[in-house]
Structure 1
Amino acid sequence: MTSWKLSLPCTRAEAEAIDAAEDVAEGVVLMTTEIEEDDREHWRLDAYLEAEPSPETIAAICALVPSAAATAPVIERLADEDWVTLSQQGLEPIAEGRFVVHTSAHPVAPPPGGRAFLIEAGQAFGTGHHATTSGCLAMLDGMADQSFGTIIDVGTGTGLLAFAARHLWPEAEIIATDIDPRAIVVTRENAELNAIPAIDLIVADGALDDSITARAPYDLLIANILAGPLVSMAPEIAAIAAPRATIVLAGLLETQRGDVVAAFGECGCTLDAVDRRGDWSILRLTAGAVRYVPTKPIDPKGRDGWALDL
């Protein structure tokens, strides 16, 4: 299959922002690569495309890397190549606790007593290679000795965190939601590919959908999305949490931690642990001793762009 690649230099900050962004267009896979270790200014963006990029698509990709505004993108035609495989060649397996995440280009066996997940890049966000997703895996792994009966993964992306929860708590009732129907399709496919049993998948905007609230409260809530939506959604997430439920939040920069913690603090939640990974932070909170009831209408402002699992 003939495919195309567009490449541009970028900074680490731009790469992290790209990792937290939705696809710029249908049939485009974005990959960022560190060129020089621990050098914030020398990264590369590669965009893999199913067809020759249009001027509009080129402009959309270039807009992701303002630092390269004066640099012409390198556009290559990749004849008779599988563009998805090409985009994954640099994705080595990642290991967090008992979990290993890999693509088909790099198969790997799980550690003793652990679990390997095959998650292809480019389907939806949440391959495990971003610090927020790997940090959530580590956070969940560290909670393995706890017991949870009802679990929800809000903004599931590829389904990876819900799959990890299923491995750790095989008897729990688990729901995975996403605002993007494509993500739910991808999660269902990944669940079949990895032989993941019994996870209910729901297309929903936020946490107020009737199919979500009807099963509340939840003992463990996972939301690996973005800081703005986390702040906006704090009341609705807290409202479906059981008293003293565990809440794992990610997708936020360290500089945004205060805003997120404050928003959940207003809903009776307290911060228990922080796993900082580079510029990103993963938070573990505990809900209040009494189930939270919102005191005013919930403002959905800030949800735009939350439909991705980092």
Structure 2
Amino acid sequence: MTTLWRIEGRGPMPIIRAANARLDDELEPLPVSWSVFEDGSPEAGRIDILFDHQPDADAFVREIGLEPDDVDILFAPLPDEDWIAMSLEGLPSVEAGRFLVYGEHTSGDLAEGQFGLWIEAGPAFGTGHHGTTKGCLEALDKIDRSDFRPATVLDLGAGTGLLAIAAAKIWPACEILATDIDEESVIETVENAAKNGVKSRIEAVVADGFHHPVLEARSFDLIFANILAGPLITLAPGIVSRLEKGGRVILSGLLEEQSDKVEAAYDALGLKRIDKAIQDGWVTLVYAG
């Protein structure tokens, strides 16, 4: 298995959020994933950045604006046994609307009437513990309660496939496509769909944005895009052009201070914002076509 390398930064939340925003840019080397958390209080933050190769850590943290005088930096390989320990001991199940995201170690938390999503922690993004993923699940639950029933769903930048799996669980009749630029994430999506009993319902492909034959001349009633603010803006014309009339778009992966620019991009293309929610400083937007 590939050894993961981890950069951890702990410091004031504004500095941590600014570093996260810098990761919207196409920095080299690109990490495989990163997450921001509160670190004991809303004013203190932690950013965890994972690589599948050993980066020049000093140069990388400087490039994203983390200075040792302001932020405590830890850089070390993350052995496989440590990653497993983090997934089993450090990640509780997560409730989001009627959904419960759980690992094998917390499967007993699933209650009657909940939609269970079995997702183990790993390098792909999307375990439900991040405010963006939780926000998307809550938005999905809310639009289902409004009697919106899509026939076709696209999970753009699927990561673990969590959102595609959630759609398959809550809407048994819909057709679902999950895409990601990273091949490992697509493999994980397929594996997670199988574990959750919905493998036959989800088509998963490696695609950079909309550059794939399977996406040509296709449109969707619901599009998830839980990625980053920069790509959300870049992909806005493609997302809007592939949305069926009366469809819905659920966007996340952006901080509060990035929301205005993302909203402006979709407003300019004629979509109507129908919901906006904030989880730990992260924004989820819902638009109607």
Q: In which range does the TM-score fall when normalised by the shorter chain?
A: 0.7 to 0.9
Q: CA deviation at 1:84?
A: 1.2
Q: CA deviation at 1:262?
A: 2.1
**CA–CA distance in structure 1, aligned partners of residues 231 and 31 of structure 2:** 26
Matched with 2:161 is 159
**CA–CA distance in structure 2, aligned partners of residues 76 and 5 of structure 1:** 6
CA deviation vs aligned residue, 1:30-56 (integer Å, no higher than 9, x gap): 666543223x2x334567899xx9672
Structure 1 SS opposite 2:124: coil
Matched with 2:39 is 35
Q: Cα–Cα, structure 1 residues 67 and 165, in superposed 2: closer, same or farther, change >3 Å? A: same
Matched with 1:11 is 12
Q: Give runs of aligned pairs for residues 167-178 of structure 1, distance below 5 A.
A: 167-178=169-180
Worse-matched range after superposition: 226-235 or 257-266: 257-266
Worse-matched range after superposition: 190-199 or 174-183: 190-199
Q: Cα–Cα, structure 1 residues 86 and 45, in superposed 2: closer, same or farther, change >3 Å? A: farther
Q: Give runs of aligned pairs for residues 57-76 of structure 1, distance below 5 A.
A: 57=57, 59-60=59-60, 66-69=66-69, 73=73
Matched with 1:205 is 208
**CA–CA distance in structure 2, aligned partners of residues 199 and 141 of structure 1:** 19
Matched, 1:142 2:132: no
Matched with 2:81 is 82
Matched with 1:263 is 265
Kindly provide the amino acid, as one letter, of the partner of residue 163 in structure 2. Answer: L
Q: 2:282 aligns with which of 280, 283, 305?
A: 280
Q: Aligned pairs, how many?
A: 281
Given that 1:101 and 1:127 are in contact with CA atoms closer than 8 Å, whether structure 2 keeps it comes out as yes
| TM-score of the two chains, using structure 1 as the length reference | 0.76
Given that 2:8 and 2:73 are in contact with CA atoms closer than 8 Å, whether structure 1 keeps it comes out as yes
Q: CA deviation at 1:106?
A: 3.6
Q: Cα–Cα, structure 1 residues 27 and 83, in superposed 2: closer, same or farther, change >3 Å? A: farther
Q: Cα–Cα, structure 1 residues 13 and 93, in superposed 2: closer, same or farther, change >3 Å? A: farther
Given that 1:10 and 1:68 are in contact with CA atoms closer than 8 Å, whether structure 2 keeps it comes out as no
Unaligned runs of at least 5 residues, structure 1? 288-310
Worse-matched range after superposition: 54-63 or 106-115: 54-63
CA deviation vs aligned residue, 1:197-243 (integer Å, no higher than 9, x gap): 310012111124321123x2211111111111111111111111111
Q: Give runs of aligned pairs for residues 293-304 of structure 1, distance below 5 A.
A: none
Q: Cα–Cα, structure 1 residues 274 and 70, in superposed 2: closer, same or farther, change >3 Å? A: closer
Unaligned runs of at least 5 residues, structure 2? none
Given that 1:253 and 1:279 are in contact with CA atoms closer than 8 Å, whether structure 2 keeps it comes out as yes
Larger radius of gyration: 1
**CA–CA distance in structure 1, aligned partners of residues 276 and 31 of structure 2:** 36
Q: Give runs of aligned pairs for residues 63-142 of structure 1, distance below 5 A.
A: 66-69=66-69, 73=73, 82-88=81-87, 89-142=89-142
Kindly provide the amino acid, as one letter, of the partner of residue 136 in structure 2. Answer: C
C-alpha RMSD of the superposition: 3.4
**CA–CA distance in structure 2, aligned partners of residues 3 and 281 of structure 1:** 28
Given that 1:11 and 1:67 are in contact with CA atoms closer than 8 Å, whether structure 2 keeps it comes out as no
| TM-score of the two chains, using structure 2 as the length reference | 0.81
Given that 2:94 and 2:129 are in contact with CA atoms closer than 8 Å, whether structure 1 keeps it comes out as yes
Structure 2 SS opposite 1:126: coil
**CA–CA distance in structure 1, aligned partners of residues 4 and 219 of structure 2:** 47
**CA–CA distance in structure 2, aligned partners of residues 172 and 78 of structure 1:** 39
CA deviation vs aligned residue, 1:63-93 (integer Å, no higher than 9, x gap): 65614357774567999x8111233332221
